[in-house]
Structure 1
Amino acid sequence: MPRESGNVHLKAARQHAGYASQQALVDALARAGSELGVDHTEVSLRQVRRWESANPPWPHAVHQRLLEHILGLPISQLGFTPPWGAQPERQNATPRTSTTMSVTPPLPLPSPTTTTQPASIAVDYASVTKAHRRLYWRVQPPLIRAAATEHTRFGTQLLSEMSGAPRRVLATALAESLLLVGRIEFFDLRQPNEADARFVEALQAAGAADDQLLGAAILGHAAFVPGWAGDRDGAAERLRAARAYMRRAGSTPALFTAWLYAVEAECETRCGKHREALRVITKAEDALADADETPLPEWFDWFSPIRLASFKGNTQLKAGHLPQARQTLLHVLDELPDEARKQRTVVLGDLAAVEAAEGNPEAACAHAGEALDQLSITWYATGMERVREVRRALERWADLDCVLQLDDHLYEWRTTLIALQR
């Protein structure tokens, strides 16, 4: 018998806000009480456990205010049903601006109804999710995002008509689809607030499926949001939650463990902690050296040893280890598979940055131009950010022919229009 999942909406919001344990939520509620001038209102660990149970009691008004304040979501989105039945629409929840940055609250997952669809529905839904996973690497981001988003809406509605094992299959596929939408919004379109909301929804679906490793993957991606914004503590909190999920999953593939280290290194790099980032990269390499035969989940298709080397090259660049960065990134460029077009733009941008830092504008422009050629085929906002950073670094050579030619390429009709649309 599967164990009771409880109030997955509140649990997902808690984890996503950076509170890895129920006790952490208790402590945060106490702090929020002081901030809001309700010092004499206490919330016990037992109360939080009841809220996260399968049949949570309706919180008192002051508790609703505290929950909304620290989680940044209205009470109607946290899995509670009021005594009078209908879900109230609350618009006055205070959004968080540190570890939770979303502005669009996630929709609650529907509960099972008396209508039950056949098990084949879940299998068919999962097959479409699998197709979207493959299409992501070649289809333009707005197109695959639109298709995947509609797929998640469909899956959310279907979930209310499923039960038992088929419901868990459908919930897993729905969580993967929501994660894909979040990845597109964050990396391809640079819409971090929208991505943050998708990661909350994905965590809710993973909770409905009781898929701990997929939950860890979602939280790992969610760590990028505060990490790229320079919120080191927020990123660290989400990574701690991801590792808690990973431990509960049991045997974990070495590549997955290495990926979480790579995420941590990226966040440390973005927060200016380059030495710490290099130390974490070494831990990722050590994890791969101890690789076991634990099979990877089918959905884990965004990371590999050569992509770890790409993380390392960027970290070496930011740390000022330019010869080492050049060597690492050239190796990555040689080893990247043909379908890794988006990653190739990032590596080319980093190589261009190395050459610019070394005082080689011609070589920098050559690499940046290659990145732009690829971006004209497959848009990737993260890759374009790298090229723009290089162009800013080349400003002291702005009158050179190679830089002028790069400007012509960077600001041609198609590239300029795409950039403005994004």
Structure 2
Amino acid sequence: MDTARNVLLEEWMREHGHSSNTMAEAVNRAVEQLTGRPGGCDGSSVRAWKSGRIQWPKALTRRVLEEVTGVPITALGFAPRSRAQPAPAVPEQEDPDLKRRTLVSGGIAAAVAAAAAAPGSAPRRIGMADVDRLQYRFTEIIASDHRRGGQVDIEKRAASLADEALNLQNSGNASQRVRANLYAAAAAFRSSAMWAAIDGRRYDEAKAHMREAQALAEMSGDQAIKFRIWSHAGTMYRHMGRTADALAANDVARNLHIARRDPMFASLGLARQAAIHGAAQDRTGTRRAFDQAGDAMDRADPAAHRPTWLVAFYDPAELNSLALSAYLALGDYPAAELHAHRCLSTLRPHMVRSRAITTTRLAHAQLAQGDIDTATKVAMTVPTAAATQHARVSRMLGEFGAALRAKAPRSPFVDTWTEHTAAWRTTA
């Protein structure tokens, strides 16, 4: 039987600079960290994954691949043979982005069109396979967010997929379980559109997505997606400077049953509460909430099943990132710098957007302590794409430049920074 190449794995490896051999080395290191025994993967194993000869690796290998990449196994192009396989390789002359758009607008929408195209025919049966296809698209949205967060195209694509999920509701018959899952998928996509708008500082759009996401989540009954939406709302209001509203929204998330049942959800709710306390200048509340968030994370079962969106980003690095934000807002710059270094040392490779944000905040903490040389050099390591295209990073770097000029107006580092930002404008 012919096999299709695993183009998603190949794309991830190409983007992160991995050959088959270096990918095998990374997998073996992760196996040894997990089991205490060296892994037995080599370049030929990776080539077998890429060629499609091995479509569903063993359980340990799947777990390790998720650890190494920070991406769910299905988002790397793997699937059991009994499940629908990823699309075949894109011909060399075909634009991969166009291919993805075609899959989004064609794959799911074609099912809707087919159901409506034959008046008088029996309605098609909507099943969990349709939900699985939507979930596969959701992992792509999550991956795009971590690479290029805040972009309008991610927001629009997520909103479009939410509409696709709702269209499926009307395209045929489905069980109550399937319908609940379709509403949950639509809510998940809409919450990703909401987050992209928040990350891009488009708050009016974010609030509109939030209202739709909340309604869909209620119809789904899915506690995890309700948590995500209300937790995002808390972050949105924190960025807007509305700390009372931020605490109220975050409390809705923290009081959901899932946060009482799973310490990892409780930890995220507490960590974001601490960041809000920092923005509100509540030092005691900040310290207490972060201590509680760390304790909850330590209690969480690492093997428990959790949704893709949570697994993809919440870990000790994110906890330290939120601490960095809080202590920077409080003006405790040594503590902020400490948490920045802790975050950067454990940040997973796919967290490109988070690395740019953390690096920028680190430069602010160093500048505030008078370490102008180091701060300038650190700020200059932020990639041009993030510096010019991500709204939050662009704003923070603009504030860094203003603070640098105010702190050391005649310093040669001001000239260095000015030249550097001019180069951004010519290469962006």
- Report the Cα distance in structure 1 between the residues aligned to 2:334 and 2:198, rounded to whole angstroms: 30
- Report the Cα distance in structure 1 between the residues aligned to 2:267 and 2:134, rounded to whole angstroms: 30
- Report the Cα distance in structure 1 between the residues aligned to 2:337 and 2:131, rounded to whole angstroms: 47
- In the superposition, the TM-score normalised over structure 2's length comes to 0.64
The residue number in structure 2 matching 1:296 is 306
The residue number in structure 1 matching 2:95 is none
- Report the Cα distance in structure 2 between the residues aligned to 1:318 and 1:237, rounded to whole angstroms: 20
Note the C-alpha offset of 1:139.
4.8
3-state SS of 1:306 partner: helix
Provide the alpha-carbon RMSD of the alignment.
Answer: 2.6
3-state SS of 2:382 partner: helix
The residue number in structure 1 matching 2:146 is 137
**Residue 232 (1) aligns with residue 243 (2):** yes
Note the C-alpha offset of 1:391.
1.8
CA contact (8 A) 1:253 1:296 kept: no
Aligned ranges for residues 317-328 of structure 1 at < 5 Å?
A: 317-328=328-339
3-state SS of 2:272 partner: helix
- Report the Cα distance in structure 1 between the residues aligned to 2:144 and 2:318, rounded to whole angstroms: 19
Tell which deviates more after alignment, 206-215 or 383-392.
383-392
Q: Which amino acid aligns with 1:392?
A: A
Note the C-alpha offset of 1:171.
1.4
CA contact (8 A) 2:253 2:259 kept: no
**Residue 260 (1) aligns with residue 269 (2):** yes
- Report the Cα distance in structure 2 between the residues aligned to 1:389 and 1:205, rounded to whole angstroms: 38
**Residue 358 (1) aligns with residue 381 (2):** no
Q: Which amino acid aligns with 1:395?
A: R
Q: Which amino acid aligns with 2:275?
A: E
- Report the Cα distance in structure 2 between the residues aligned to 1:306 and 1:133, rounded to whole angstroms: 17
Say if 1:354 and 1:228 are closer, same or farther in 2 by CA, change over 3 A.
same
**Which of residues 259, 282, 289 in structure 2 aligns to 1:273?**
282
Q: Deviations over 1:69-103 (max 9, x none)?
A: xxxxxxxxxxxxxxxxxxxxxxxxxxxxxxxxxxx
- Report the Cα distance in structure 1 between the residues aligned to 2:252 and 2:282, rounded to whole angstroms: 21
Q: Which amino acid aligns with 1:185?
A: A
Q: Deviations over 1:271-317 (max 9, x none)?
A: 33343222211111121222235432223123211110121123223
Note the C-alpha offset of 1:182.
0.9
Q: Which amino acid aligns with 1:331?
A: R
3-state SS of 2:285 partner: helix
Note the C-alpha offset of 1:204.
1.5
**Which of residues 346, 350, 364 in structure 2 aligns to 1:339?**
350
3-state SS of 1:350 partner: helix
Note the C-alpha offset of 1:128.
1.8
CA contact (8 A) 2:259 2:265 kept: no
Aligned ranges for residues 3-402 of structure 1 at < 5 Å?
A: 117-119=125-127, 120-139=129-148, 141-161=151-171, 163=174, 164-187=176-199, 189-244=200-255, 246-247=256-257, 249=258, 252-292=261-301, 294-300=304-310, 301-373=312-384, 375=386, 379-396=389-406, 397-402=408-413
Q: Which amino acid aligns with 1:282?
A: D
CA contact (8 A) 1:329 1:347 kept: yes
- Report the Cα distance in structure 2 between the residues aligned to 1:274 and 1:138, rounded to whole angstroms: 32
CA contact (8 A) 2:238 2:246 kept: yes
Runs (5+) with no aligned partner, structure 1: 1-112
Q: Which amino acid aligns with 1:265?
A: A
Note the C-alpha offset of 1:218.
0.7
CA contact (8 A) 1:186 1:195 kept: yes
CA contact (8 A) 1:343 1:383 kept: no
Note the C-alpha offset of 1:116.
5.6
Give the aligned length. 301
Q: Deviations over 1:192-220 (max 9, x none)?
A: 12112212211222112110221011101
Q: Deviations over 1:319-339 (max 9, x none)?
A: 333333322212221221211
Note the C-alpha offset of 1:354.
1.5
3-state SS of 2:250 partner: helix
CA contact (8 A) 2:286 2:326 kept: yes
Say if 1:208 and 1:344 are closer, same or farther in 2 by CA, change over 3 A.
same
CA contact (8 A) 1:168 1:209 kept: yes
3-state SS of 1:303 partner: coil
Tell which deviates more after alignment, 118-127 or 329-338.
118-127
Note the C-alpha offset of 1:402.
1.8
CA contact (8 A) 2:317 2:344 kept: no
Q: Deviations over 1:52-76 (max 9, x none)?
A: xxxxxxxxxxxxxxxxxxxxxxxxx
CA contact (8 A) 1:398 1:404 kept: no
CA contact (8 A) 1:313 1:328 kept: yes
Note the C-alpha offset of 1:133.
2.1
Say if 1:124 and 1:393 are closer, same or farther in 2 by CA, change over 3 A.
same
CA contact (8 A) 2:230 2:250 kept: yes
Q: Which amino acid aligns with 1:257?
A: A
